[in-house]
Amino acid sequence: MASKLVMPKWGMGLTEGTIAKWLKAEGDFVTEGEPVVEIETAKAVEAASATESGRLMRILVPEGQTVETFTTLAVIAADGEDYSELLD
């Protein structure tokens, strides 16, 4: 089942983060729990992990862009799976 990788809310005061570095590229296979992207917040740089195993089909937020928590960063899906309804 296709899923969104969203900007996590790691703390009560966290409202946004900046994409520091994508650790995987579009088309790469990822395993659930595997770090996919490094996100810089006001206090630290932390890695967000894949929410499920599958292929990183689409990166929606490029490196250097700042987004609010819960913004969709990327979509993970199985090969051939329709994930169009997950695109914001």
The pLDDT tens digits along the chain (88 residues) read 899 999 998 877 788 999 999 999 999 999 999 999 999 998 889 999 998 999 999 999 999 999 999 999 999 999 988 888 888 5
HEC readout, 13-75: CCCEEEEEEECCCCCCEECCCCEEEEEECCCCEEEEECCCCEEEEEECCCCCCEEECCCEEEE
Structure tokens at 23: 């650790």
Gap between the Cα atoms of 66 and 79, Å rounded: 29
Domain ranges, ordered by start, for the chain = 3-79
Q: What is the pLDDT of residue 88?
A: 55
For the domain made up of 3-79, the CATH class stated in words is: mainly beta
pTM of the model: 0.90
